Structures are given as structure tokens and as C-alpha cells.
Amino acid sequence: MTALPVLLVPGLNCTAEVFSRQIPAAWAFGPVTIADHRRGGSIAGIAAAILADAPPRFALLGYSMGGYIAFEMLRQARERIERIAFLATSARLDNPEQRENRLRQIAIARAGKFDSIPPAAFGTRCIRTI
């Protein structure tokens, strides 16, 4: 059996470190790549940029916002994705509380205090700024 490359898509403001404990286990299945989700002006654009660098066929894992990107990658190139997994993500619309939280974070970022958002929302596994 040929090893299947594994592509991991981190969440919003997360670095590859978010997958530090999963990477050794994933290597048992094939080479592991962490997607660069900092390119593209939309989820569709980010997915297209990741797919441009991805192997012809691969297993895909999306974490949090990376799951939203993985759903879009599946829409754009289903034939290339042999296996898929989602962690801490949803296929549903935000509920009112999630929407309020998102709008609050946008307001904080617009006020020039973006650096305070990632530590509060994601802890130490994510970076302060990208």
C-alpha cells in the first residue's frame, strides 16, 4: 500500500504548533504537510491556494476554521481528497451567540487591538499575529 500524504489545515490564527501532538501519529500514514491558510481573501480563495500546493491525492484534516476551508476544498476538488476529517468545526451557520462573538472580535480588531483576540480565544497554541 502506497503512503497517502496527509494535509492538515489549522484554525484561524493558529500555527503548525496546534498539530504538534497529531503530527507524529499522522506520519504513520504518509508524509504530513501543514497548509498555509494565510493566502486568499475568502474561504474559497484560501482553499484554492492550498489546493494549488497540495499533492494530487491526499487525506485532509481541518481544525476549526480549517474545517470550513476543508469543506470548500472538498467542493472544489473532491476527486483529489481520498479521506477527510474535521475537528472542532461545524457545517452549520453560526448561532446568535457565535455571531455576536464574531462581531465583537471584528470590533476589537478594527479598534487596533487584534493582538488581544487570539490568546483569549485560542490559548497558547496559536500565535498573536500572523
Intra-chain end-to-end CA distance of the chain, in Å: 38
Q: Which three cell numbers stand for residue 73?
A: 476544498
Give me the residue label for grid cell 487584534. 114
For the CA atoms of 126, 109, 41, 47, the dihedral, rounded to the nearest 10 degrees, stands at: 30
Q: Who's near 124: CB < 8 A, 6+ residues apart? A: none
- Kindly give the pairing relationship between strand 32-34 and strand 58-63: unpaired
Q: Give the architecture-level CATH label for domain 1-87.
A: 3-Layer(aba) Sandwich (3.40)
pTM of the model: 0.80
State pLDDT tens for residues 12-26. Answer: 878 889 999 999 999
pLDDT at 98 over 90: no
pLDDT at 125 over 80: no
Give me the residue label for grid cell 476551508. 69
> Radius of gyration over alpha carbons of the chain, in Å?
15
Going from N- to C-terminal start, the domains of the chain cover: 1-87, 96-130
- Give the pLDDT confidence score for residue 128 in this predicted structure: 40
State pLDDT tens for residues 43-95. Answer: 999 999 999 999 999 999 999 999 999 999 999 999 999 999 999 998 888 88
- Give the pLDDT confidence score for residue 87 in this predicted structure: 93
Q: What DSSP character marks residue 64?
A: T
- Return the half-sphere exposure (C-beta side, CA atoms, 13 A cut-off) of residue 52: 10
Total residue count of the chain as it appears in this document? 130
- Give the pLDDT confidence score for residue 47 in this predicted structure: 97
